[in-house]
A = this chain, B = another copy of it.
């Protein structure tokens, strides 16, 4: 997936292409797509840590299960994307709740099937609420996912992300800069965002996952990587227009939360959430004439996506 971020949507190599008005995107089979497929095939030949069929099996019936369960997903997220996040969760079939007051999150989270924490527009009262909710989720055995937005950008964010990470999320999803910052391998997120591709953060993701005792780490970028510290998968669905709409990275995190709420294990939930968004984005781009219509079509496609179509379009390889 080519994830975007409301906070640091800095066009890197992919962004440079889409910052120009695009003339045509009739299909997902761009040159870079072709390169991706060739590269993926090569990886399949070379690596055998997890064969595609095993990875694909994770997606089996995931959407049907999500829609059957319609899990209540508790979000404490940033004000930029709260509307988009709720709509994406509704579109795919979950039931979003956006309760965020420190006075009530501890009571509320116990009713939820999953918790999503996103530090995008972090304020002090919200930070306190996040810690209460994460502890409550942990105590109640409710899975949760952390989106450490711009974790490396300021001291305030570094400490907030670190505190939350220490509470053991089921899944951590960030871009290369955020994952590197959390792994202590990089300082300021900005520089990393523009310089490093998500490949550069693969090692950091693996290290974080191994340290996290069962935590799954997802690094999103032109190619996404998902790892539990042992297995590493590469996901290649998505479209560059995702970088021209705010909150698509946050949407990815929320969708992972939805699949966690439907009962999928962390690795499967991460793969299903990222693949659902990536495939829906590819469909949406075919109907869009720019980022505005893309955003609309993306919600329509998340709503209309079915398991068979998702599995057929999924591009998952050993990472």
Residues in A lying within 8 Å of B, measured CB to CB: 4, 6-11, 15-16, 19-21, 67, 70, 72, 78-84, 86-87, 90-91, 93, 95-101, 103-104, 107-108, 111, 120-125, 150, 153-157, 188, 190, 243-247, 288-293, 295-306
- Contact check, A246 vs B93: say whether CB atoms are below 8 A apart: no
Q: Bound state CA distance, A163 and B123, in angstroms?
A: 23
Partner of A98, one of B7, B98, B293: B7
Q: Once the chains are docked, how many angstroms separate the CA of A9 from the CA of B83?
A: 13
Oligomeric state, in copies: 3
A123 shortest CB reach to chain B, Å: 5
Q: Knowing A7-B98, A8-B97, A91-B291 touch, does A244 contact B21 (C-beta < 8 A)?
A: no
**A-B residue pairs in contact (CB < 8 Å), sample of 23:** A6-B83, A8-B95, A10-B95, A20-B67, A21-B303, A21-B306, A72-B190, A78-B98, A79-B79, A80-B83, A82-B121, A83-B84, A87-B295, A98-B120, A99-B121, A104-B154, A104-B155, A104-B156, A104-B157, A289-B300, A290-B301, A292-B296, A293-B299
Q: CA A188 – CA B20 in complex, angstroms?
A: 43
The interface residues of chain B lying within 8 Å CB-to-CB of A296 are 292-293, 295-296
Q: Assuming A7-B97, A9-B95, A91-B291, what are 18 further A-B pairs, CB within 8 angstroms?
A: A10-B72, A19-B93, A79-B79, A79-B98, A80-B82, A91-B290, A91-B292, A99-B154, A100-B123, A101-B156, A103-B124, A104-B156, A104-B157, A107-B156, A111-B153, A111-B188, A111-B190, A296-B296
**Which residues of the partner chain B approach A99 to less than 8 Å between Cβ atoms?**
7, 121, 150, 153-154
Q: In the complex the two chains form, what is the Cα distance from A157 to B104 in whole Å? A: 8
Q: Are B245 and A304 in contact (CB under 8 A)?
A: no
Q: How far is the CA of A298 from the CA of B99 in the complex (A)?
A: 26
The interface centre, meaning the residue of A79, A188, A190, A292 with most chain B CB atoms within 10 A of its CB, is A292
